[in-house]
Amino acid sequence: MINKWKNKSEFWIAGAKLADTASRTLKTGSIHIKRGRIEEVVWKKSVDTDLPVFEAEGYLVTPGFIDIHSHLREPGYEESETVATGTAAAAAGGYTSVVCMANTDPVVDDPSVVRYLMDKNKAAGQCRLYVIGAVTKGLEGRDINEFHLLKEAGIVALSDDGKFVENAKVMRSALQYARMLELPIVSHCEDASLSGGGLMNEGFYSTKLGLSGIPAEAEEIAVARDISLSKLTGCRLHIAHVSTSGSVQLIKEAKKKGLPVTAEVTPHHLTMDDSELKDYDRNLKVNPPLRTQQDIKALKKALKNGTIDCIATDHAPHNEIAKQVEFNFAPPGMIGLQTAFSHLYTELVMPGDLELIDLVSLMTSAPAEVLGLPGGRLNSSEPADLAVIDLDEEWTFSKEVNKSKSINTPLVDRKFKGRVKGIFLAGKWKRTG
């Protein structure tokens, strides 16, 4: 790549394959970038201009990816991740926007924590950061937070993610109050009385491994309750990390009734099942747990027919020491920001389970729409947040290329096709691959 266009406030990206999520088209075109925004998109291979040109033939250029479910661990768990390292991993994965969850220490239940995170991100400067505030004080499920003050500080949604708001009355109040402020609530659906002590999906493999199981119904009961409460309150409800076919069914019915319900699925729930836990690999311990092939089939179908709105990573770093313990003591979660696109391109798009343009939409315009965020489209006047991808490049994810502070993923040494080469963040190029 030639340097002439770098650090210029106005230039063209020419001859790339463009993923236009708005019109669901994937064809060759050029983008005119001016002062950090998309000035114009033309469906021509070359442009007649005096401006500097990034000759991008052979690359796929998409809107920058948007992750609406990440744990950046700051403040409180900086030994596992920080805003700087988490967003660096995100940028390396083609993300230009990351939404971070509230289960930090202190919890994001006070405007000062929101501002702290934004300051941290300003200093890091890797990508855009949006903050989710906690539904209840200290994630304790009892008292709802100052949603208005949190919104003033800049939060984009509310969630006690990691925990289910067990008390239905508390959740009802939260939804009622959040509706007034037009804040969606992201729900971690898990009936803890049913999943309590569970370590993996309940089924043949939990029996074989002697690990307590978490039945699919622990999620589905919670999904059903929150859909009912969304109906009662009219509040926007977003179901985090859907993992079972039963949940898909419930969400489908809710959408048919016109309820304001959306849902996401993680890359790992789309690609890995509970049989992979056979060697007690702690990196495969996630919550909700990896389910069955039948669930994976239902999740893929739900992505295609729109029952599930978008893909979110649930990037959940845990440092090596935390995971180097007996399976039952290991905290659940795996990282995913840096690998999400390549992983899903390799395992879903290449075998023909998903169209490339749909994968791009599910990682850009769709999540933007769910939380009402800017970006995700190649429209003029949108911020020039873009991902540049070489679909033919084969690469191996390794400890060496990992940008996260943690390496808790079963994808270490996994070979992928399709590599993110860099991002444009407000028109500014950052090479990553």
Partner 1 sequence: MRYNQKNLLGLEELSSGQIELILDTADNFKEVSERAIKKVPALRGITIANLFYEPSTRTKMSFELAEKRLSADIVNFSKATSSVKKGESLRDTAENIEAMKVDIVVMRHGSSGAHRFLSEFLDASIVNAGDGQHEHPTQALLDMLTLRQRWGTLKGKKVTIIGDIMHSRVARSNIWGLTRMGAEVTVCGPPTMMPPEVENLGDGGVKIEYDLRKAVSDADAINILRIQLERQKNKLFPSLREYFTVFGVSSEVLRSARNDCIVMHPGPMNRGVEISQHVADGKQAVILPQVTNGVAVRMAVLFLIAGGKSGEAKVEKK
The reply on whether position 326 binds partner 1 by CB under 8 A is yes
Residue 314 annotated as catalytic? yes
The reply on whether position 245 binds partner 1 by CB under 8 A is no
The minimum distance between CB 251 and partner 1, in angstroms, equals 25
The minimum distance between CB 241 and partner 1, in angstroms, equals 22
Q: Which residue has the tokens 């996994």?
A: 414
Bridge partners of residue 66, in order along the sequence: 97
Q: Choose, by CB under 8 A, the member of 110, 202, 309, 347 that binds partner 1.
A: 202
Residue 289: asked if its preceding bond is cis (omega within 30°), the reply is no
Instruction: Choose the catalytic residue: 67, 191, 226, 314.
Output: 314
Bridge partners of residue 25, in order along the sequence: 20
Q: Choose, by CB under 8 A, the member of 50, 169, 193, 279 that binds partner 1.
A: 279
Q: Kindly identify the residues of this chain, within the stretch 56-75, that bind partner 1 according to CB under 8 A.
A: none
Q: Is residue 333 within 8 Å of 316, Cβ to Cβ?
A: yes
Residue 381, burial from CB neighbour count under 10 angstroms (0-12, 13-18, 19+): exposed
The reply on whether position 280 binds partner 1 by CB under 8 A is yes
The minimum distance between CB 321 and partner 1, in angstroms, equals 8
The count of other CB atoms within 10 Å of the CB of residue 310 is: 26
The minimum distance between CB 280 and partner 1, in angstroms, equals 3
With contacts defined by CB under 8 A, name the span among 121-129, 240-248, 301-309, 322-330 that binds partner 1.
322-330
Which residue in 328, 329, 332 sits closest to 209, CA to CA?
Answer: 328
Cα–Cα distance between 126 and 421 in angstroms, integer? 15
* Cβ proximity to partner 1, 48 vs 279, nearer residue: 279
* Cβ proximity to partner 1, 327 vs 395, nearer residue: 327
Q: Could you write out the DSSP letters of every residue in 297-332?
A: HHHHHHHHHTSS-EE---B----HHHHSS-GGGSPP
Question: What are the structure tokens assigned to 426, written together?
Answer: 């407000």
* Cβ proximity to partner 1, 212 vs 228, nearer residue: 212
The reply on whether position 192 binds partner 1 by CB under 8 A is no
Bridge partners of residue 430, in order along the sequence: 423
User: In the complex, which residues of this chain contact partner 1 (CB under 8 A)?
Assistant: 202-204, 206-213, 279-280, 324-329
Active-site positions read: 314
